[in-house]
Amino acid sequence: MESLTLTDVEQKYYSDLFVYCDTDNTKKVASNGKVLDLFRAAQLPSEVVLQITELCGATRLGHFGRSQFYIALKLIAVAQSGLPLRVESLNSVKDLPLPRFVVAKNEQEARHTAMYPDLENQGPYQGVIPRPPGRGQVKKVSAHEVIQPCVPTVEPQPDTTSPVVSPHQSPPTSPHAWRKHKRQASGGNVERPPVVVAGAVWTPFREAQSGPVVAGDGMWSAHSPPPVQESWVSLKDTYPPSSSKMPPMRLSLVQENSSIRTVASVATANEIQRQSSSGYDDPWKITDEQRQYYINQFKTIQPDLNGFIPGSAAKEFFTKSKLPILELSHIWELSDFDKDGALTLDEFCAAFHLVVARKNGYDLPEKLPESLMPKLIDLDDSAEVPDQAPDVGYSGSPVEVTPNKSPMPSLNQTWPDLNQGNEDTAIVHPVPIRMTPSKIHMQEMELKRTGSDHTHPTSPLMAKPPELSEETSMKFVTANSGDGYSSSDSYTSDQDPITSVVTRQRSNSGTSPEGLKVVAAPPPPPPRPNASHSRSSSLDMNRNFAAHPTGPQQSGVVACPPAIPPRPLPTQTSGPHSGHRSDEGLAAHSTTSPQQIPEQPNFADFSQFQAFAASDQPSDDGEKHPESLPVEKSTEGAGPLRTVKTDNQEERAAATVNSAKGSIMAPPPKPVRRRLKSEDELQDEALPPKSNVIATVLATLPSIPRSVGKDKKAIQASIRRNKETNTVLARLNSELQQQLKDLLEERISLEVQLEQLRPFSHL
Amino acid sequence: MAVCIAVIAKENYPLYIRSVPVQNELKFHYTVHTTLDVVEEKISAVGKAMADQRELYLGLLYPTEDYKVYPSHMIKNMAVTNSKVKFVIVVDSSNTSLRDNEIRSMFRKLHNSFTDVMCNPFYNPGDTIQSKAFDSMVSAMMVQAS
């Protein structure tokens, strides 16, 4: 029918009427006499009837083809509801009650009106969708022909669906099939002006049909009327014997089916109808209400929306749908995107959607449709925050799929290569992997690191104001290395639990804090107090530090050095960073620390800094933040980078990279806060209570300077110290970053080689 | 160049067997079956010492007049039992022999696809493999070979 979208209720109704009028049993043409009788039974004024006849094209044709008949029926409904008779009203009027005929079909109409909005173009898969109201009433009117379609579709569903399904399966041919149907039905209605409007609406359908399977949906709706009707008509003969059995069976089936299925199918059917009526939509797209429903279902199995549904649970759940195991297996293959044997929320929604679609008669695609692809986190896109709730847009390339599994997390440029390679093999690497949300993860790492970083450099500085430059640098370095160490520890330990769940694609940032918290003690370094802890733990650490300002710090600092193998210290000279790499670099470090590197941007910051120092501290925080940001960033990177150097370079490199990356990507406030803290400590001014841990951590540290009292000189001295620290850190950072990059490249190449050389032995 | 690919379960029944020239299937089946004996032999020869991680790629078994048969014995330590699943690839020796690397990569792909099938909770170990993805992968291997 040209763009005549009928609800299935209408569909049935009209087909029945058509059959009723089809006294010659041509199945194509209703005898005029009967039709006119029927129209008269509609109790419309005769001129209206005439108008209707004209509009539907019967006058032109001289007879009532099926489509004309349907159009006429719909127009009758329109007229009966008091709306002006126009062709546009055919499709534009929703919720139109069925045309009333005095021939005792009113009861249907009432029911159908109620069900109208929900079920449209469901055609064959009515059998699957339990429609309690309709069915009950259908049972009531058991004698009525309308029952037929419902009931037979249960058993002969394969037959019923086949005419519809087959075109669906082969979209390219379906236009043909559809057009054939159309022509049969309308016999050239297309050209008629009255249906120009309908034709216009229709063309989008046709154009869509040339597309991929997606068009199947539009086709679907188009197809469902003709084949279904025909099948209904043919089934009409067979159903009477079965009808007695069917309704009870139907009901029992309905009851058996979990209500979930019902709602899902109805919702899906609803959605499909909406989509089809809108002209051209992706049939596989999950609507919001569907998605919400799926999410609720997910919660019943797995309360944590960021967690996974294990395969066994999913199997039980989907087995309830009573689909054959083979199909469920296929659905699983399609939806388990990362092949980890568990379903994330996205995967679950996709699987659920496929199940529902399958139950409604849709054929399973060979490939996961785009709209069902799990929304992946693009690690390269630092601006993107993982967000699972909204619709499942296909957000990117396969790159995102395997960030978890990639051994080289944070090097942007290496992401695609490694990821794709990993994806191809779908091998889960027992390699330390980063949590998916790189940005968030990095921020957290950043916070922890900065917190720990702050404590150490500042504490020794604080503890010994007149310290020798060497000592300062030494402590600073060690502290930082320890810091980096701890941060890398935390990172590594972060990786450990991650590794344990390595097969999972953690698409939510929620997992990263968990991972961090769960961390076990990392292997090599002496466990730093705040290693691998969340912010709260580092808070504790800071409190410890505050309690024993000098002692633990010193000890902590002392504890760090043993774990630090010779670390290449950043060259203090501005230009070639590759120069200074040695333990003696400490000396160099110290020697150069006093030398403020002119090119460091810190100076500009420092000047402002001093200006700030004079003024009230808290108010300056915000201002200082942006200025000291670049320093912060580089410093932050330096800290973890340093750590990397000290420890297992390869393993830590990842951490370092991450941290560096994170520091680079870190939002301004964090590094700034850190800087502020150290300044505060030194200046012994009360820090504005920042939300992050670093603030608290540092706040604890400055307890000592606070005791000194606000003293401008002390403040200035602390400023100077900070400056020195800044410079040193900045240099360290730049050099370490350079080294880091080299190391990472090496690592990448090694990993690739390893992968290539790995013997064929798994699991 | 694979003309036949087979996945044999521990109990030596085929979980999956596919050959390219469909008419000679029986012959392939027989060939594969005979290779199982050779495989068993090799395995028993190795002994239980390195039970956990053996060399999975057993290499060329024997070049028959027509074909070379490459089996690969995979050992999986599962919770209770050792699941010994064997992959066998029969290649046409008339073609220039594939490099060892290529054969290994074929087995790797087989292995990965098999793992994916295993991961599917709806797949019961011991069932024949009906996964379409697995089928398509195998077909790709066989088509590109011949």
Q: What is the mean pLDDT of each run of 10 residues along chain A (763 residues)?
A: 64 78 62 71 76 71 73 78 69 62 49 42 40 40 40 40 41 42 42 42 42 40 41 41 43 46 51 45 72 84 79 82 81 79 82 83 75 58 40 41 41 44 51 55 55 45 44 45 43 43 43 43 51 48 48 43 48 43 43 45 48 48 45 45 45 45 44 47 46 47 52 91 93 93 94 83 56
B107 and A760 in contact by Cβ < 8 A?
yes
Token representation of residue A527: 């466990």
Contacts of A341 in chain B (CB under 8 A): 119-121
pTM score > 0.80 for this model? no
Q: Is B76 on the interface with A (CB under 8 A)?
A: yes
Region of B97 please: left (phi>0), alpha (psi -120 to 50) or beta. beta
Binary contact (A761, B56; C-beta < 8 A): yes
* Nearest-angstrom CA–CA distance, A588 and A571: 8
Q: Which residue has the higher pLDDT, B72 or B43?
A: B43
- Kindly report the nearest CA distance between residue A368 and chain B, in angstroms: 12
- Kindly state whether A366 is in contact with chain B, defined as any CB-CB distance less than 8 angstroms: yes
Nearest chain A Cα distance for residue B34, angstroms: 23
Angle between helices A438-463 and A511-518 (to 10 degrees): 40
Contact B119 A425 (CB under 8 A): no
Tell me the CA distances in angstroms from A677 to A207, A627, A686, A725, one per residue in order.
Answer: 64, 15, 9, 13
Length reported for chain A: 763
Task: Please judge whether A760 and B72 are an interchain contact, meaning their C-beta atoms are less than 8 angstroms apart.
Answer: yes
Minimal-distance CA residue of chain A relative to B75: A763
CB < 8 Å to A760, chain B: 56-57, 72, 104, 107-108, 111
Alpha-carbon distances of A170 from A178, A215, A356, A365, rounded to whole Å: 12, 10, 20, 11
Q: How confident is the model at residue B42 (pLDDT cuts 50, 70, 90)?
A: low
Across the interface, do A332 and B121 touch by the CB < 8 Å criterion?
yes
- Confidence at residue A730, expressed as pLDDT on a 0 to 100 scale: 93
**Is residue A143 less than 8 Å (CB to CB) from chain B?**
no
A60 touches chain B (CB under 8 A): no
Give me the residues paired with residue A447 across strands: none
Q: In this structure, what is the dihedral angle of CA atoms A18, A22, A23, A25, given to the nearest 10 degrees?
A: -130
Concatenated DSSP letters of chain B? -EEEEEEE-TTS-EEEEEESSGGGHHHHHHHHHHHHHHHHHHHHHH-STT-SS---B----EE-SSEEEEEEEEEEE-SSSEEEEEEEEEEETTSPPPPHHHHHHHHHHHHHHHHHHHH-TTPPBTBPP--HHHHHHHHHHHHHH-
Quote the minimal CA–CA distance from B42 to chain A in Å: 17
Q: Rounded to the nearest 10 degrees, how much is the dihedral formed by the CA atoms of A538, A543, A544, A547?
A: 160
Which A residues, 320 through 339, put their C-beta within 8 Å of a C-beta on chain B?
Answer: 325-326, 328-330, 332-333, 336, 339
List of chain B residues whose C-beta atoms are within 8 Å of the C-beta of residue A325: 122
- Is A15 exposed, middle or buried (CB count within 10 Å of its CB: 0-12, 13-18, 19+)? buried
B122: contact with A, CB 8 A cutoff: yes
Which position has the token pair 């604080």?
A462
- What are phi and psi for residue A525, nearest 5 degrees? -75, 160
Q: Is A251 exposed, middle or buried (0-12, 13-18, 19+ CB in 10 A)?
A: middle
Cβ of residue B53 closer than 8 Å to a chain A Cβ: yes
Widest Cα–Cα separation across chain A:
113
Q: What pLDDT does A723 receive?
A: 94
Would an 8 Å CB–CB cutoff place A46 in contact with chain B? no
Selected for mutation to probe chain A from B50, B84, B122, B135 (highest A CB count within 10 Å) is B122
Instruction: Give the CA distances from residue B95 to residues A29, B19, B87, B102, in Å, rounded to whole numbers and listed in that order.
Output: 65, 16, 21, 14
Name the residue in chain B with its Cα closest to that of A364.
B132
CA atoms within 13 A of residue A57's CA, in its CB half-sphere? 25
Q: Calculate the CA A572 to chain-centre distance.
A: 46
Count of beta carbons in the 10 Å neighbourhood of residue A139: 18
Question: Residue B3 has what pLDDT?
Answer: 67
Calculate the alpha carbon distances from B90 to A696, B15, B55, B99 in Å.
67, 16, 19, 14
pLDDT of residue A325: 80
pLDDT of residue A747: 94
pLDDT of residue A13: 79
Record: contact A330-B132, CB cut-off 8 A: yes
